[in-house]
Amino acid sequence: MERVTATDSALALIEKLKSKHGPLLFHQSGGCCDGSSPMCYPQDDFLIGKADVHLGDIGGCPFYMNKKQYEYWKHTLLIIDVVEGRGGMFSLEGPDGVRFLTRSKILPE
């Protein structure tokens, strides 16, 4: 079952970031320094561990979430979108004046 998807505007931004930074990955932040936003990193700059769950891919980029956080979100479809404004200071889209945003939809049982 699909657990993560992206809007057309998010997919366009992903393509722009991939052309600039190469392969990317996403990790849903758990609410520390950058709130709870989807964070975009160069693929080799973020280490995925045993505590991370692969939810799927968006724009050809893997999307992960910590498995403890996943327990709260496992009944939802994450919809990654883009909005204007500053987001996570470590996420690649920040300098462009936009940020990725997670919307959600409850999945049928």
Cα 22 to Cα 12: distance, rounded to the nearest angstrom = 15
Query: What six digits make up the tokens of 39?
Result: 């964070």
Residue % of the chain over a pLDDT of 70:
93
Query: What six digits make up the tokens of 49?
Result: 């561990």
pLDDT tens digits, 14-23: 999 999 999 9
Look up the pTM and report it.
0.91
Mapped onto helix, strand or coil, the DSSP state of residue 67 is helix
Among 18-27, 59-68, 69-78, 87-96, name the one with the lowest average pLDDT: 87-96
Residue % of the chain over a pLDDT of 90:
75
pLDDT tens digits, 22-64: 999 999 977 655 557 899 999 999 999 999 999 999 999 999 9
Mapped onto helix, strand or coil, the DSSP state of residue 29 is coil
Cα 41 to Cα 35: distance, rounded to the nearest angstrom = 16
Residue 87: pLDDT above 70? Answer: no
Residue 74: pLDDT above 80? Answer: yes
Query: What six digits make up the tokens of 5?
Result: 């998807």
